[in-house]
Amino acid sequence: MHITQLNRECLLHLFSFLDKNSRKSLAKTCHKLLEVFQDPLLWSLLNFHSPAELKKDNFLLGPALKYLSICWYSERVKVCNIEDWMKNNFQKDFCNRHENTVSDFLLEVCNRCPNLLSLTLSGCGHVTDDCILLLLKSCPNLKTLKLENCVRITDKTLEAVALYGGSLQTLHVDFCRNITQTGLERVREKRPSVMLRAERSANMIPDNKPEKQLMFEKASRKLVQL
């Protein structure tokens, strides 16, 4: 039996075992397999390992998407995690090339994937509070939100969770250095049923603007002199 003789259900099951690139390659072989590739039911789960993958045409976004993960563990993540005012020209140029990639992608998710249940972001240093706020509003069924090493995430995201995270069951904000203990306590107060984890976040040194950093250094020097 030729693969194209299988019914739609069987073909969807076979496609589900393939990665995104393999699915795309197979879809190019004939019209019937292309239709399977374009079936929204095939795309209930998406995993990405770098911002560059978000710009490829080897996947589809649609209402069937339930589980989304964007985890970037490359050494280059460290560049994005440097405070903007401390970056040199080379580092700024590197970040400018992909600064809005993840945020723009998540905006598409907000528009096309209202049934999202789980979102994991790791090493996405340019994702902002506003982006997470919009996602919480657009995906009211979101049950799991895991943020790791997302340095632009602040207590505003925690406030958004308190206001719009009615379906949330799990919230992780690990190694997010601009999260405070006050923000975490607010979530515990407003959403006591949420399983909250914030490994190291509230204990890390938050970003400071140059003028604030200068004042801190001056104050430290005075204490040393005393």
Strand, coil or helix: 68: strand
pLDDT tens digits, residue range 30-71? 999 999 999 999 999 999 998 889 999 999 999 999 999 999
pLDDT over threshold 80, residue 95: no
CATH number of the CATH domain containing 117: 3.80.10
Q: Which tokens go with 34? A: 């292309």
Which tokens hold the place of 93? 């140029």
pLDDT at 97 exceeding the cut of 60 = yes
Q: Mean pLDDT over residues 121-145, rounded?
A: 95
Number of domains in the chain: 2
DSSP β-bridge partners for residue 122: 71, 148
Domain co-membership, 16 together with 86: no
Question: From the CB of residue 145, how many other CB atoms can be counted at a distance below 10 Å?
Answer: 24
- Res 211 pLDDT > 70: no
Structural domain of residue 13, as residue ranges? 1-42
Q: Do 5 and 58 fall within a single domain?
A: no
Judge if 91 and 194 occupy the same domain. Answer: yes
CA–CA separation, 141 and 45 (whole Å): 16
- Predicted local confidence at residue 205, as pLDDT: 63
pLDDT greater than 50 at residue 177: yes
Residues 25 and 113 in one domain: no
pLDDT at residue 202 is higher than 80: no
User: In the prediction, which pLDDT does 99 show?
Assistant: 74
